[in-house]
């Protein structure tokens, strides 16, 4: 079946994504209702792009003679300026994923690790992928007046702020309007790389500063391609769970995107009896043992491995955990938080509840 994408859908979703990243709402659904209601009422042919926490600057690759003819601002890092950059297709990328490594001190790595784990686009990366991100980052010193990125340019790098202050400008009716100031922390530059669009904001340094940058190719290999591979892997995992067979394609993709991989060592506790339920797990690899307390004695009642899910009963019944779940050897499991569980798996709850209750009764 062929589907035609309506005109303007890409711009609308892009602007909404920018708004979410800018405002970081507590409830994205309420924010979406308010945002689209407001844009509908304004009846603008095209909404003004809000400031983007995305930017980049240095040109990657060999110089283009045609581009060298263009007049370049002496403080602009020699950026490229064109309508769009080369589109990246993670499914078609069959490269060997050669890693880029820039040496760093232990203290620099520790600082970057803490910063990266707080950045939205890195939330779903595992520890090995975070290490790849840190390896690929290189340091850039800036001075007051340096233009780090400029609205309309191609996106070549993603930036993490280490030191300094930076003003963000967006052109509104031909004039530059300051919409945000970064003061010593933050990140920008990801949207142009994620969505293959020109920079939708300008970021200028207003003090001496230090940035950590990651080039487009490394960003796409680590963030975009890993997200694609993660979705495909989790979709395969979900397809092997009989009770989730009735999910449609959108629900299956939404579930795959919501899962966060976690690793455990032998003896680690995934869930503790009596604790409040905050989510459930889908087993990726390894085995866990499930125990319950009877008359002061901990008794093993079951073991679960790849393709199984655990922890759903407490979510369904809104009760504390009724069992302990403990890793046997190394375990890797995909975690689904409570909000995503209720949103995505609502139509599976009755079947999951009956199955879970029968499982416990049989043990």
* End-to-end CA separation in angstroms for the chain: 47
* pLDDT given for residue 166 in this prediction: 97
Q: What is the mean pLDDT of residues 131-159?
A: 93
Look up the domain containing 17 and give its range.
9-42
Tell whether 69 and 212 lie within a shared domain: yes
Q: What is the mean pLDDT of residues 321-343?
A: 91
Tell whether 22 and 91 lie within a shared domain: no
142 token code pair: 């800036």
Tell whether 197 and 289 lie within a shared domain: no
Tell whether 247 and 334 lie within a shared domain: yes
Tell whether 116 and 182 lie within a shared domain: yes
Tell whether 261 and 157 lie within a shared domain: no
Tell whether 207 and 117 lie within a shared domain: yes
Residue 84 has pLDDT above 50, yes or no: no
60 within domain boundaries: no
194 within domain boundaries: yes
User: 3-state SS of the chain?
Assistant: CCCCCCCCHHHHHHHHHHHHHHHCCCCHHHHHHHHHHHHHHHCCCCCCCCCCCCCCCCCCCCCCHHHHCCCCCCCCCCCCCCCCCCCCCCCCCCCCCCCCCCCCCHHHHHHHHHHHCCCHHHCCCCHHHHHHHHHHCEEEEECCCCEEECCCCCCCEEEEEEECEEEEEEEECCEEEEEEEEECCCEECHHHHHHCCCCCCEEEECCCEEEEEEEHHHHHHHHHHHHHHHHHHHHHHHHCCHHHCCCCHHHHHHHHHHCEEEEECCCCEEECCCCCCCEEEEEEEEEEEEEEEECCEEEEEEEECCCCEECHHHHHHCCCCCCEEEEEEEEEEEEEEHHHHHHHCHHHHHHHHHHHHHHHHCC
- In this predicted model, which residue has the larger pLDDT, 361 or 296? 296
218 burial (CB, 10 Å; 0-12 / 13-18 / 19+) is: buried
| CATH number for 206 | 2.60.120.10
Please state which of the ranges 158-167, 185-194, 284-293 shows the lowest mean pLDDT.
Answer: 185-194
Tell whether 75 and 190 lie within a shared domain: yes
pTM, 2 dp: 0.54
Number of independent structural domains in the chain: 3
Please state which of the ranges 224-228, 231-235, 347-351 shows the lowest mean pLDDT.
Answer: 347-351
85 token code pair: 């950059």
* pLDDT given for residue 332 in this prediction: 92
Residue 314 has pLDDT above 70, yes or no: yes
Residue 219 has pLDDT above 80, yes or no: yes
Residue 324 has pLDDT above 90, yes or no: yes
* pLDDT given for residue 361 in this prediction: 52
Confidence label for 91 from pLDDT (cuts 50, 70 and 90): low
230 within domain boundaries: no
196 within domain boundaries: yes
Tell whether 219 and 278 lie within a shared domain: no
| CATH number for 35 | 1.20.890
Contact yes or no for 15/49 (Cβ under 8 A): yes
151 token code pair: 């609205």
Tell whether 178 and 107 lie within a shared domain: yes
85 within domain boundaries: yes
349 within domain boundaries: yes
232 within domain boundaries: no
228 within domain boundaries: no
Among the candidates 223, 250, 282, a domain finishes at: 223
Tell whether 167 and 217 lie within a shared domain: yes
Please state which of the ranges 22-36, 247-261, 262-276, 342-356 shows the lowest mean pLDDT.
Answer: 342-356
Tell whether 27 and 153 lie within a shared domain: no
Q: What is the mean pLDDT of residues 10-35?
A: 75
Residue 360 has pLDDT above 80, yes or no: no
Contact yes or no for 234/334 (Cβ under 8 A): yes
Residue 281 has pLDDT above 70, yes or no: yes
* pLDDT given for residue 151 in this prediction: 93
Please state which of the ranges 4-8, 135-139, 215-219, 328-332 shows the lowest mean pLDDT.
Answer: 4-8
> What does pLDDT average to over the chain?
77
Please state which of the ranges 11-25, 121-135, 332-346 shows the lowest mean pLDDT.
Answer: 11-25
């Amino acid at each position: 079946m062929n589907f035609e994408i309506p005109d303007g859908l890409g711009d609308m979703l892009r602007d909404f994504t920018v708004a979410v990243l800018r405002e970081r709402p507590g409830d994205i659904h309420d924010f979406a209702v308010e945002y689209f209601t407001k844009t509908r009422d304004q009846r603008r042919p095209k909404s003004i792009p809000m400031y983007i926490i995305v930017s980049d600057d240095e040109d990657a690759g060999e110089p283009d003679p045609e581009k060298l003819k263009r007049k370049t601002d002496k403080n602009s890092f020699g950026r490229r300026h064109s309508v769009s950059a080369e589109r990246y297709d993670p499914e078609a990328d069959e490269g060997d994923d050669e890693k880029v490594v820039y040496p760093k001190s232990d203290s620099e790595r520790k600082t970057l690790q803490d910063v990266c784990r707080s950045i939205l686009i890195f939330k779903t990366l595992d520890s090995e992928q975070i290490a790849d991100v840190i390896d690929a980052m290189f340091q850039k010193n800036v001075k007051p007046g340096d233009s780090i990125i400029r609205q309309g340019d191609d996106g070549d790098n993603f930036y993490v702020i280490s030191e300094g202050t930076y003003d963000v400008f967006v052109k509104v009716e031909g004039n530059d309007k300051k919409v945000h100031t970064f003061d010593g922390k933050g990140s920008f530059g990801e949207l142009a790389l994620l969505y293959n669009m020109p920079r939708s904001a300008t970021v200028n340094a207003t003090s001496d500063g230090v940035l950590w940058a990651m080039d487009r190719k490394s960003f796409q290999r680590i963030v975009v391609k890993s997200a694609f591979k993660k979705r495909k892997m989790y979709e395969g995992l979900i397809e092997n769970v009989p009770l989730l067979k009735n999910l449609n394609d959108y629900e299956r993709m939404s579930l795959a995107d919501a899962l966060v991989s976690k690793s455990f060592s032998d003896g680690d506790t995934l869930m503790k009896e009596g604790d409040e339920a905050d989510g459930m797990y889908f087993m990726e690899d390894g085995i866990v043992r499930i125990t319950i307390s009877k008359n002061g004695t901990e008794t093993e009642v079951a073991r679960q491995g790849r393709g199984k899910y655990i922890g759903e009963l407490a979510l369904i019944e809104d009760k504390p955990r009724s069992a302990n779940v403990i890793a046997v050897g190394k375990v890797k499991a995909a975690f689904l938080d409570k909000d995503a569980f209720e949103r995505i798996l609502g139509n599976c709850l009755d079947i999951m509840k009956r199955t879970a209750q029968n499982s416990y009764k049989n043990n």
